[in-house]
């Protein structure tokens, strides 16, 4: 099968670099100028500087080059996914589409797999998610991810196709669990960054990660996910990575909030919109998600960190 990656940000470029070790890969950029710069300069200087693009990776801005491939990885920010699909219904409409974004759509509360199914009902959707920094993948460092696809046969075929020398894929048919694990861990990473940024200590971070995981499970199980999925790479694995590393943009936003510093608004931080989307969904379902609620207050500056801490500590005592 032939593979294209739509979206030439840090993650799309890193995945394309890794896949190019197996055979030809097409990387599609929105901007023709950007595509030309990458194709000739053999580097994504904007989003992934310092990584040489292999010769087997072709950068293009022509969507016909993507249409010619059977499998398309969608590496655009979550809140842009619907538009990216709508822009290319003809080119993508019957393809195997593997969403690589993490989050919940703000205006609908939907995850990436559901959005693909709604916008392009004849496409075959899947999701690639799990603990992975673009910089690590692009440098060839070992990484394990979850490939989620409701069609078991397709899931197995994609697992073979997208496994590379440094990317080891595990598969599941639980797309809801995989979507929610990847989305919710970003909200918890903002909370953990804020706690560390404010000097509240490693013990507080461990408490947030653990109780945050309980919130992740609460919502995922209410929406029909399997508990094992949350315990896997796409849930626990990604929570562990993102809540502890300054390579994470969500964690770094939290650090800035905790320190009272500003943060570059052009950086992709999926947890902000997702916190609001998840908070709305929790209210709708009657679920108790206090950490998520505090993160929404922190990111829209309606709640101070001291008030968030006080709210969390003052909650009624309960069984674990």
Ligand X SMILES: NC(=O)c1ccc[n+]([C@@H]2O[C@H](COP(=O)([O-])OP(=O)(O)OC[C@H]3O[C@@H](n4cnc5c(N)ncnc54)[C@H](O)[C@@H]3O)[C@@H](O)[C@H]2O)c1
Q: Which residues bind ligand G3P (CB under 6 A)?
A: 102, 131-133, 186, 189, 238, 241-242, 248-250, 270
Q: Is 105 in the site for ligand X (CB under 6 A)?
A: no
Is-contact 177 202, C-beta < 8 A? no
Q: Render the burial of 89-104: b for 16+ CB within 10 Å, e for the rest.
A: eebbeebbbbbbbbbb
The residue from 3, 4, 5, 8 that contacts ligand X (CB under 6 A) is 8
CA 203/CA 195 separation, integer angstroms = 10
Task: Provide, rounded to whole angstroms, the least separation between the CB of residue 249 and ligand X.
Answer: 7
Kindly tell me which of 247 and 310 has the beta carbon lying closer to ligand X.
247
β-bridge partners, 147: 128, 171
Give every CB contact of residue 124 below 8 A, 6+ residues apart in sequence.
Answer: 95, 96, 97, 149, 151, 154
The residue from 26, 71, 146, 268 that contacts ligand X (CB under 6 A) is 268
Which of 22, 80, 107, 185 is catalytic? The answer is: 185
- Residue tagged 């979850």 (tokens): 146
* Segment contacting ligand X by CB under 6 A, of 65-73, 99-107, 214-222, 292-300: 99-107
Kindly tell me which of 215 and 270 has the beta carbon lying closer to ligand G3P.
270
Kindly tell me which of 69 and 81 has the beta carbon lying closer to ligand G3P.
81
The residue from 213, 270, 298, 308 that contacts ligand X (CB under 6 A) is 270
185 is catalytic: yes
CB atoms within 10 A of CB 56: 14
What residues act catalytically? Answer: 185
């Amino acid at each position: 099968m032939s593979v294209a990656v739509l979206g030439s940000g840090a993650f799309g470029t890193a995945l394309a670099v890794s896949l190019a070790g197996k055979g030809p890969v097409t990387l599609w950029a929105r901007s023709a100028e950007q595509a030309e710069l990458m194709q000739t300069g053999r580097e994504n200087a904007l989003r992934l500087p310092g990584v040489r693009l292999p010769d087997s990776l072709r950068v293009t801005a022509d969507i016909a080059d993507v249409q010619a491939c059977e499998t398309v990885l969608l590496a655009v920010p979550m809140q842009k996914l619907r538009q990216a699909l709508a822009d290319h219904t003809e080119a993508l409409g019957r393809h195997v589409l593997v969403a690589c974004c993490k989050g919940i759509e703000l205006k609908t509360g939907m995850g990436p797999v559901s959005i693909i199914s709604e916008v392009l009902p004849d496409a075959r959707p899947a999701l690639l998610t799990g603990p992975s920094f673009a910089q690590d993948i692009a440098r060839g460092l070992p990484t394990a991810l979850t490939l989620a696809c409701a069609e078991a046969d397709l899931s197995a075929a994609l697992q073979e196709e997208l496994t590379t020398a440094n990317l080891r894929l595990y598969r599941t048919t639980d797309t809801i669990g995989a979507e929610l694990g990847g989305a919710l861990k970003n909200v918890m990473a903002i909370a953990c960054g804020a706690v560390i940024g404010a000097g509240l200590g490693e013990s507080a971070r461990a408490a947030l990660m653990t109780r945050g995981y309980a919130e992740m499970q609460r919502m995922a199980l209410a929406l029909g996910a399997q508990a094992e999925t949350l315990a896997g790479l796409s849930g626990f694995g990604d929570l562990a990575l993102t809540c502890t590393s300054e390579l994470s943009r969500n964690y770094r936003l939290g650090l800035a909030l905790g320190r009272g510093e500003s943060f570059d608004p052009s950086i992709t931080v999926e947890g902000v919109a997702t916190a609001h989307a998840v908070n709305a969904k929790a209210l709708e379902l009657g679920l108790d998600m206090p950490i998520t609620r505090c993160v929404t207050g922190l990111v829209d500056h309606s709640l101070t960190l001291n008030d968030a801490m006080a709210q969390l500590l003052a909650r009624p005592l309960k069984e674990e």
